[in-house]
Structure 1
């Protein structure tokens, strides 16, 4: 595990998830952590050395300041720091939701960082879209989220008791909860990603000019889950226009998956990642 400290004093954490082959960087969605890839990684380890990044205030990273910046440029900078920590050469990466969006922003900040990208429902809203206000249901739900639990087991049982995590593979939820909690000092555990951090990340997702995406020229798959689940309404609709706007993008859809696809069917998503990033991009 490597701690990657930013100039503002906050830090990300890079986890060595094992495997053999060229490095593959994995980034997570808002409120999640590298543990979300737990059922994907075992099916990638014969092709890649897998590395999972916890953004600031997520997973094994601990927030340092009350007013921690969650601007996406900061998160993209943490991705660039992770690439430098892995040798600085162009590599391949796969990301989910916020993590997928920040991979695109990192490539725009530093062209040539990646040789290939796999983006599962990147949340990049186009110009003209409204920002999420403080009364938006996602923002409100994040700020209401329970943060303290008696044990890790209680936290896990709470998460898997209702959607969307009840639809995910138990091992993926367990890994997310174990990495995303820490002893709170009062015989309990606490989520490392606070509800306020998650809410402010939602609020900070301003519109992006899709015309910029043409500069992302590395081969890129934009994956989408087409499940009719009630929580699966917004991000899937962005996938096709993002894929079309990228310099070398292609859309891939999964009828049986939702926005949480990598946690729902890890082997299926891993096969899609391998097919895109292993040959010939990572040869």
Structure 2
């Protein structure tokens, strides 16, 4: 029951504690998640202050001199920064356009399958890549797509074609990133949509069938509207992480030959922060990325509310 209907918004402090005591087991179940976010998400925010300081490892964060927006001014004047910023936007946009609809389509197709054994087999097969790390998958992709002995290029050559530099040619590298990501994650992401589809009342389909609706009509007028709120919530979360273009995957697969199309903000932060030791500048880049993500999430949430959806807050 919503908190306002139960009167928690008008409770005195004593009644609030009484309410918490009554629901203490629910709050106890919530405690590990709260501790996790407090330790790994909120406490590290203190370190973001080094974006406004010249960090000295000997003086620490508190003892380091305050320099204001010096690092941001320097950052925005770098051509390299705007290159990695644009790469991040482009790769994230491709991941959104091609990766977001894939699990929805697969979930709808599996929902229409009547053979339970076949459905479970397909689900198991498409889930498996999610549990394989990008370190292993990176090696597999190199062996499959390499121009020097790769299985895929051997097949292309046997058909009379020329080898394609999927991982070495900057005109193909982004496509390889996107499609390999879709292949790895679309099966796992179908779980949420399959759960939403399982909650649809079967009587809706029976009534529609009696009214003469075919399978496509039932999907368009019943299935999709029933899971629309789930789709919107996941889309909002995806838009709110547009500046996350997949560090693990790109770090494993990219090289200097494709930096101009694959170097993203996360890999740039890794190089200037850990490799070069410019921690304050790396913190400024990371803070800028977080602000952009926050702004995108707020904008997308307001847009969803105007469309009649609940949003994420």
For the criterion TM > 0.5, the same-fold answer is no
Larger Rg: 2
Give the helix-richer structure, 1 or 2.
2
TM-score by length of 1: 0.26
TM-score by length of 2: 0.25
Give the strand-richer structure, 1 or 2.
1
